[in-house]
Structure 1
Amino acid sequence: MAKITGLGGIFYTAADPAATRQWYKDILGLDGEYGPLLPWSEETGDKPYSLISHFADDSYIKPGTRGFIINLRVDDLDGFVAQLVGKGVDILGQSDEGYGTFAWIMAPDGVKIELWQQMTAPD
């Protein structure tokens, strides 16, 4: 039987798509012909997964203004946060939830980005 195998992408409008793609390349190290490309072949964690999550209100999305956030997996959250700080990026906060550690930043055009290092496999 045919099935969904993963998240194919996130698509949204930006005031200046070229500048936004450049920000993703310069700040997050993500590049690709049509935008940031995330090859799953580079993931080494135990049972890596993507999640589509729903919220009753926008408190988790704030201070983002676009009605959604982008969650990006990282292999070393502390190291990546240090790199971001070195580039002058403001870190909105960090949290350890047991199953993973998180940090949040803002991207151009009001998009909140959540950085996530998975610590445990899903049930």
Structure 2
Amino acid sequence: MPVLGIGGIFFRAQDPERLTAWYRDHLGVGPGLAAPDAGDPEEWTWKVQGGPLAFAHFDADTDYWSTDRQIMLNLRVSDLDRLLDDLRAGGIAVTVKAEWDSPETGRFARIHDPEGNPVELWEPPVD
């Protein structure tokens, strides 16, 4: 198979510059940024660490995220507790539910970007 991975994530925004700044400032995601140990930043891309990537389809009527949204972004993170503290300090509402977490899959939290898009934060289990 010639497919090697995800090459980009693209979605419409009412205010693309504001949304880009929000992701950069609160999550460290976006063009010109690099995750720790991912190499030097590049102007047009976000350099990420290698690791697992879920590619899954849910039933159209799932209640796992709001039914008025077609997709939910899931970001793999380290030190979820610290990130959640930073997000809360920045005035961002955070949702956590014990039933989302398990030793097999890791820990999860949910936020929404300024345009209402759901963003799931996932801290994988430690090997």
Question: Where in structure 2 are the equivalents of 1:24-39 lying within 5 Å?
Answer: 24-32=23-31, 37-39=46-48
Q: Which stretch of structure 1 is more off in the superposition, 74-83 or 22-31?
A: 22-31
Distance 1:4 1:82 in 2: 37
- Rounded to whole Å, the distance in 1 between the matches of 2:116 and 2:44 is 17
Rounded to whole Å, the distance in 1 between the matches of 2:114 and 2:52 is: 26
| Alignment RMSD | 2.3
**SS class of match (1:110):** coil
Q: Does 2:65 match 1:61?
A: yes
Any gaps of 5 or more consecutive residues in structure 2?
33-42
Distance 1:9 1:113 in 2: 16
Which residue number corresponds to residue 109 of structure 1? 115
Task: Please give the TM-score of this superposition, normalised by the length of structure 1.
Answer: 0.78
The aligned runs of 1:1-123 (5 Å cut-off) are 2-32=1-31, 37-40=46-49, 43=50, 48-56=51-59, 57-62=61-66, 65-94=68-97, 95-98=100-103, 99-119=105-125
Q: Aligned equivalents of 1:87 and 1:35: distance in 2? A: 26
> Contact between 1:100 and 1:118, CA under 8 Å: does it hold in 2?
yes
Q: Deviation above 6 Å: which 4+ runs of structure 1? A: none
Q: Give the whole-Å Cα distance in 1 for the aligned partners of 2:44 and 2:86.
A: 21
Contact 1:92-1:105 at 8 Å conserved across structures: yes
Offset of residue 120 of structure 1: 5.6
Query: Using a 3 Å threshold, how does the CA distance of structure 1 residues 103 and 28 change in structure 2: closer, same or farther?
Result: same
Instruction: Give the total of aligned pairs.
Output: 113
Gapped regions of structure 1 (runs ≥ 5): none
The structure with higher relative contact order (CA 8 Å, sep 6+) is 1
User: How far does residue 36 in structure 1 lie from its aligned partner after superposition?
Assistant: 7.2
Q: Matches of 2:17 and 2:69 in 1, distance apart?
A: 18
